[in-house]
Structure 1
């Protein structure tokens, strides 16, 4: 009975608030009672282990469900908007990679350098990608070979598009079930972060927090650059007039709401109302905006690229330009498959890290750090993702009206 008030409080309090509490308590415990802080490291270890267990199956099932349930015959009139989604996500990944190169972040990880070896160049990376792509699918899942998982998921998803409706619906139901499991694991994030922060600060001191601040600054700076510079340029390219009135309106009315809800899916009604008020074509925006909440992920592309390069810099891997370009493409593809739950993009970081031969153990520690800074990072990411959905939909519809007029 004594746990009922605690469970009730957990259900009524946002995950963001709980993570902040876990972060503050972890730092306080490390400063006041270092020995006790080292003992709660188990909480962080269990949290990372849970993430490692669920992430491979998440990528596998989500990609299969997304591809198998596509309806290609219904998206012909959406091609201009889909093109903007693609350009926006890829450009965001490029911004994230460039910012990481200019302002490299290094993190404090446990045994970060063990078994790490820098790839010899783009040729070695591509050879390793090909080997990973044709790996046994069962082994790929067991060994967290994300490239192999992605390739097999795409192949199975394409094959199932010709399957029975009941089969595709079963994959969608399985995807929803896996998402519920992910949500349950993420609900444990405050405890995991409490253990991680307490043990890390007790071991290394408070200087570890400076690395988190630097990483967060690179992430938020990249997202602001995309929102205020890149996206307006893309909109101007479409409508050939001052884009900022439209950009500011989308950020104010869609971005602010998404920042606090931290869910692109939950913000769909807001974006639909904006599109209706702008007198856009209902047949277009009623499909484009829900679709954008799934595949238009500029913020997620930045998160994946920045954190993956932070892992590479931490273990001392030098990234050449061709490999960085390949990372942009991989980050864009990963972003389109990001889970709809808060923090979903973080679980795809190991896929991008596999480009550099970074072990799953190290990648998952970076994912855990992502949850620590996710108090602001995930909110800003969702705000960018969701506001861009209605922004690009409006730009494409306005451009079409101008051509017809």
Structure 2
């Protein structure tokens, strides 16, 4: 009997595509671990991860630029949005996350073995330098901002061009909207390749670092993940309840499931924007609001980064036997929140801002950079959880602001 091999292959591809993305990613993760243990010499597999991350990094800046510009130039005049409430929630959530990390570090102090370094990386010398870098990034050359993935600069120029194009012709607005849709579709195609990219990344981690090596940092990882889980499952539900006066967990778990899991594996808030936009659409939110709040949240809503900065800084303080009083802890919470909001504008992200926070306790830069080195080691887990918290919260706070406004207006939040 003749068997059509092409038809069989198409059937397999169809079955694969019909599986949920999360399930396919889990398959890729397991395959990466197995291949890393059984055929560690097959380095070509790690190339899949490199290509996947490279593709995300390449398209994410363009995505943010066109999404924000398109949303602003097509926004309807006089239409009410909840952007003020959303921005306040972003800032409040980031500060609370830093405070949770400080409290967690007091309750479960962690000490580090500072034997690793992070050579070739220059941390900011002070708060003024961070603020100066942020201001310079705001006015950076727009082409240079796109090339170097300077999201603060990308966001600022997208706002300028978006507002400038508000009075342009409908044809111009349509073209910009079409480009925005095309870039979003490109990101969706890349994310569909996530299972193979994750397989390559996990394979490379298993071969080069090894799963066992992470066990020596298990207490630090547990504290970081525990603080992030506390914010996601305790703090955020309280905020949702205050805003909606309803059971918060259906909304919280939906955001974690449909946004957080994808962001955990892609490790990119910017690349997760299309996923968040689709989730906002499914929740029935106002497009004029979430088309701006989601890209904005990917830039300044950094609760996970605030946790990382606070936990690693206090771990260094505990290791050196430095006594941390309550006023200093409060200052650290504020500093970590401010630094986290600017993390995307500083090369190296949240880890590179750890030396800045360490300077609050007089910790030498040499030791602080060793702490950064530890951060890079646990970054496999820390960065994934941090991105999952940040990205899922973008949708959550956008939804809370709108549902709270509906409740005030006497409308249903369903």
Q: Same fold (TM over 0.5)?
A: yes
- What residue number does 2:400 align with? 388
Shift, 1:128, TM fit:
1.6
Give structure 1 stretches of 5+ with no counterpart. Answer: 236-242, 273-287, 331-348, 400-405
Q: 1:32 pairs with 38, 52, 55, which one?
A: 38
Shift, 1:42, TM fit:
1.2
SS at match of 2:162: helix
Matched, 1:224 2:236: no
1:41-78 CA-partner distances (Å, limit 9, x unpaired):
21111111112211221121112112212224122xx5
Larger deviation: 318-327 or 121-130?
318-327
Shift, 1:132, TM fit:
2.4
Find the aligned partners of 1:90 and 1:34 in 2 and give their Cα distance. 44
- What residue number does 2:96 align with? 95
Shift, 1:144, TM fit:
2.3
Find the aligned partners of 1:379 and 1:148 in 2 and give their Cα distance. 20
- Contact in 2 for aligned 1:96/1:306 (Cα 8 Å): yes
Shift, 1:398, TM fit:
4.4
1:114–1:63: structure 2 CA closer, same or farther, 3 Å change rule?
farther
Q: 2:151 pairs with 140, 146, 151, which one?
A: 146
Give structure 2 stretches of 5+ with no counterpart. Answer: 1-5, 260-274, 318-330, 354-372
- Contact in 2 for aligned 1:133/1:147 (Cα 8 Å): yes
Find the aligned partners of 2:352 and 2:334 in 1 and give their Cα distance. 18
1:250-281 CA-partner distances (Å, limit 9, x unpaired):
543x5555555545555567755xxxxxxxxx
- What residue number does 1:201 align with? 206
Give me the TM-score of the superposition, normalised by structure 1: 0.67
Count the aligned residue pairs: 343
Q: 2:29 pairs with 2, 7, 23, which one?
A: 23
Question: What pairs up with 1:159-308 in 2 under 5 angstroms?
Answer: 159-206=164-211, 207-208=213-214, 210=218, 215-233=224-242, 235=243, 246-248=245-247, 251-252=249-250, 254-255=251-252, 261-262=258-259, 271=283, 289-291=286-288, 293-294=290-291, 304-307=302-305
Give me the TM-score of the superposition, normalised by structure 2: 0.66
Find the aligned partners of 2:339 and 2:392 in 1 and give their Cα distance. 22
- What residue number does 2:265 align with? none
Shift, 1:166, TM fit:
1.8
Question: What pairs up with 1:122-133 in 2 under 5 angstroms?
Answer: 122-133=127-138
Shift, 1:29, TM fit:
2.2
- What residue number does 1:284 align with? none
